């Protein structure tokens, strides 16, 4: 059986000026948590939106392959895509306040998703909503169903978003920075919940984040994105133990770890900023910030394999 989600050489451009995603490939297996990690502007959110066909106006996607459960997403029309979204593939966004409708109760928003996709009565949908709210750790689900989003804290709203995404028993859940707006304590609770649900329901989870701490703790597999490309991809333990791409190495050195660095020692940092990349760009997108770059990096970037399942884009030998 092929993987749950397969993406090969995805390209996303906006109006011929910016190439947001440049030939990114990644695969999400059933029951796997795959983290897509990178800094702002690297194309990770655009990748998620391209999968869901929710790109902003002017955005255009092409790919050699983009399949979900062997169904070709590139060939699906809007109706076909609408049939999948919220149903077999669901998405959670960063800001729960802006993705919930402030004028409707939690209950009506949750049941709407299910009644749209499945032929069920309001009664059945309400029961399922209450059941899921309980499952994501919300006490008094009956009360919460009648409340409006503004009556809930940020952590509760994000739990509601997760419960809503699970209404139709999706196979694939895409979560775009689901905990970035939350406090660290709430973040830990939400991630624990996501990991548990992923295990219990056998979901494929594509988690987008900029936080390497989250990646290390929750991912089975990691893809590192930089300037629109997946520059390195490996099993989590492998990537943290033996990062190959200079960007991945630099990123790992930037993160302060309690008890690991001395205070008077400067943190590792990556000089410079992310370049803006337009169509026709050649070579390695990281070369201007890379201390190992040489003249060849402006032309070709070899695709190398360090170990089975550990691939990276760099001229440096494994």
Partner 1 sequence: MTATTTLPAIELKSVGKTFRVSGGILGKDRHVVAVDGVSFAVAPGGVLGVVGESGCGKSTLARLILGLLTPDSGDIAVEGQRIVDMDRKARARLIQPVFQDPFSSLNPLTRVRDIVAMPLQAQGTFSRAEIAKRVDEMLERVGLPGEMGNRLPAELSGGQRQRVAIARALVLRPRIVVCDEPTSALDVSVQAQILNLLAELRRDLGLTYLFISHNLAVVEHVASEVAVMYLGRIVEKRPTQALFHQPEHPYTQALLASVLTPEPGLGVPDVGLGDVMPDPANIPPGCRFHPRCPVAEPRCSTQMPPLRPRPGGGVECLLAS
Q: Provide the binding-site residues for partner 1, judged by CB under 8 A.
A: 39-40, 137-139, 153-156, 159, 183-189, 191-192, 195, 210-218, 236-237, 240-241, 250-259, 261, 263-264, 266-271, 273-274
Looking at the Cβ atoms of 154 and 283, the one nearer to partner 1 is 154
Looking at the Cβ atoms of 139 and 291, the one nearer to partner 1 is 139
What separation, in Å, do the N-terminal and C-terminal C-alpha atoms of the chain show?
31
Give the SS3 label for residue 297. Answer: helix
- Minimum CB–partner distance for residue 133 and partner 1 (Å): 11
- Minimum CB–partner distance for residue 8 and partner 1 (Å): 27
Looking at the Cβ atoms of 156 and 314, the one nearer to partner 1 is 156
Residue 257 tokens, joined: 């770890």
Spell out the residues 6+ positions from residue 127 whose beta carbon is closer than 8 angstroms to its own.
none
- Minimum CB–partner distance for residue 244 and partner 1 (Å): 16
Task: Produce one character per residue of 156-191: b if its CB has 16 or more CB atoms within 10 Å, e if not.
Answer: bbbbbbbbbbbbbebbbbbbbbbbebbeeebbebbb
Looking at the Cβ atoms of 47 and 53, the one nearer to partner 1 is 47
- Minimum CB–partner distance for residue 303 and partner 1 (Å): 24
Looking at the Cβ atoms of 53 and 248, the one nearer to partner 1 is 248
Beta bridge partners, 285, equal none
- Minimum CB–partner distance for residue 182 and partner 1 (Å): 9
Q: Alpha carbon 99 to chain centroid distance?
A: 16
Gap between the Cα atoms of 23 and 143, Å rounded: 47
240 close to 224: Cβ distance less than 8 angstroms: no
């Amino acid at each position: 059986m092929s993987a749950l989600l397969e993406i090969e050489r995805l390209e996303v451009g906006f109006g011929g000026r910016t190439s947001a995603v440049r030939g990114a490939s990644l695969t999400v297996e059933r029951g796997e948590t795959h983290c897509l990690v990178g800094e702002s502007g690297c194309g990770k959110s655009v990748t998620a939106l391209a999968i869901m066909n929710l790109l902003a106006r002017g955005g255009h996607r092409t790919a050699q392959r983009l399949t979900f459960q062997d169904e070709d997403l590139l060939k699906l029309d809007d109706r076909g895509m609408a049939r999948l979204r919220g149903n077999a593939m669901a998405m959670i966004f960063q800001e729960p306040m802006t993705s919930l409708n402030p004028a409707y109760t939690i209950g009506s928003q949750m049941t709407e998703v299910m009644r749209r996709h499945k032929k069920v009565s309001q009664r059945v949908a309400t029961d399922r909503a209450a059941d899921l709210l309980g499952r994501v750790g919300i006490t008094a689900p009956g009360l919460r169903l009648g409340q409006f989003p503004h009556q809930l804290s940020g952590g509760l709203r994000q739990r509601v978003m997760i419960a809503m995404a699970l209404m139709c028993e999706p196979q694939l859940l895409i979560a775009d920075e689901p905990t970035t707006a939350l406090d660290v304590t709430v973040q830990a609770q939400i991630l624990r919940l996501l990991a548990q649900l992923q295990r219990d329901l056998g979901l494929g989870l594509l988690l987008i984040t900029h936080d390497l701490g989250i990646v290390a703790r929750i991912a089975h597999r990691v893809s590192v994105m930089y300037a629109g490309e997946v520059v390195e991809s490996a099993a989590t333990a492998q990537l943290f133990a033996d990062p190959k791409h200079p960007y991945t190495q630099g990123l790992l050195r930037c993160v302060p770890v309690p008890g690991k660095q001395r205070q008077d020692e400067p943190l590792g940092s990556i000089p410079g900023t992310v370049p803006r990349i337009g169509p026709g760009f050649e070579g390695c997108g990281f070369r201007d910030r890379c201390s190992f770059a040489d003249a060849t990096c402006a032309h070709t970037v070899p695709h190398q394999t360090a170990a089975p399942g550990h691939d990276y884009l760099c001229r440096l030998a494994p």
